[in-house]
Amino acid sequence: MSTQRPMSVTRFVAAKKSARKLSMLTAYDYYWAQIFDEAGVDSLLVGDSMGMVVQGHSSTVPVTLDQIIYHAEIVCRAVKHALVVVDLPFGTYHISPEQALESAGRIIKETGANAVKLEGGVTQARTIAALAGADIPVMAHVGMRPQSVNALGGHGRIQRDSDRLLADAKAAEDAGAFAIVIELVPRQIAARITNELDIPTIGIGAGPECDGQVLVMHDVLGLTPKSFSPKFLKRYADLRGVAESAVRGFVEEVQTGVFPDDAHSHS
């Protein structure tokens, strides 16, 4: 039986003071969430990245609140130890803090998740404060913001305005965010932000100085095509190749009559 203690928001924040690096992966379904949880991942993010890696869209924008709640509830049912954070999808918190409270309230109540995540710093400070004031833990997200793909001119653009990035991070912390994702930012800027904040920074394409790292599960497991290879991505397996080989074997055995044999048939 596992002796791993459940990760709470309090423990997540305290990790920074002890210089303990935090691990985070995305998850969207039961068995992968269960595997990641048992493997000791500190936090699972039910990300709106599902729009691209699960639904096949070109961005995260089409993901709806109902869709992310559906996946988050499944993930939470599998998890015993990891901190589960759920993205607030595009358009579910931009109108007003009241809209954000309603959206986040549904997520927490209907899924059992521990926290929500939203993109933005200075522009979302009032919303972050409203969520924190309602005892809904909120993680912020600065740098390259996937939901702002149209405004930022596309995915994969490194954000280099250090003063603006630091202002966003500080605004989020001051408003009550318990952690901040920093995406596609030069490591020197991410290091500066990390050093000046009391809350953990979770990097993706932002260098090793961050307090933790997050990656999309499909990238870590090698499920995405090899043609997709941003600099920050490290594949720890080639499950795409394993799956293709397994399916080719199945197809061949069915076509040649090898499967099913006596061992795989009832009598």
Q: What is the pLDDT of residue 209?
A: 98
4 domain residue, yes or no: no
pLDDT of 217 strictly over 90: yes
Question: Is residue 100 in a domain?
Answer: yes
User: What percentage of the chain reaches a pLDDT higher than 70?
Assistant: 96
- Measured between alpha carbons, how far is 197 from 186 in angstroms, rounded to an integer? 17
Is residue 249 located within the same domain as residue 140?
no
Please state the φ and ψ torsions of residue 71, each to the nearest 5 degrees: -70, -35
What is the pLDDT, as a whole number, of residue 148?
86
Grouping H, G, I as helix, E, B as strand and the rest as coil, residue 16 is coil
**Confidence band, pLDDT 50/70/90 cuts, at residue 3:** low
266 and 214, same domain (yes or no): no
Q: Looking at the structure, do residues 98 and 155 belong to the same domain, yes or no? A: yes
Q: Domain check: are 71 and 159 in the same one?
A: yes
Judgement on whether residues 165 and 264 belong to the same structural domain of the protein = no
pLDDT at site 1: 42
Picking from 130, 129, 138, the residue whose alpha carbon sits closest to that of residue 85 is 138
Establish if 200 belongs to a structural domain: yes
What is the overall mean pLDDT for the chain?
95
70 φ, ψ to 5°?
-55, -50
Residue 254 and residue 128 share a domain = no
Q: Is there a domain that residue 148 lies in?
A: yes
Q: Examine the domain organization and report whether 231 and 251 are in the same domain.
A: no
Residue 2 has pLDDT above 60, yes or no: no
pLDDT band at residue 7, thresholds of 50, 70 and 90? very high
In-domain check, residue 2: no
Co-location of 186 and 262 in the same domain: no
pLDDT at 76: 98
Task: Record the tokens describing residue 90, joined without a space.
Answer: 């595009």
State what percent of residues in the chain have pLDDT above 90: 90
The predicted pLDDT at position 129 comes to 98
Q: What is the pLDDT of residue 156?
A: 67
Q: CATH number of the domain that 75 lies in?
A: 3.20.20.60
User: Residue 267: which residues within 8 A CB-CB, separation 6 or more?
Assistant: none
Digit-coded pLDDT (tens) for 247-262: 999 999 999 999 999 9
Q: Which amino acid is at 19?
A: A
- Residue 249 and residue 214 share a domain: no
- pTM for this predicted structure: 0.95
Average pLDDT on 153-178 reads 91
> Among this protein's residues, is 38 annotated catalytic?
no
Contact 202, 181 (CB under 8 A): yes
Nearest to 4 by CA among 40, 44, 45: 40
> Is 30 part of any domain?
yes
Say how many domains are in the chain. 2
| Domain match, 69 and 137 both | yes
The predicted model gives 46-72 an average pLDDT of 97
Same domain? 88 vs 176: yes
Judge whether 259 lies within some domain: yes
Structural domain boundaries enclosing 266: 241-267
Considering the domain boundaries, does residue 13 fall inside one?
Answer: yes
Is residue 141 domain-shared with residue 263, that is, in the same domain?
no
The catalytically annotated residue of 183, 196, 252, 253 is: 183
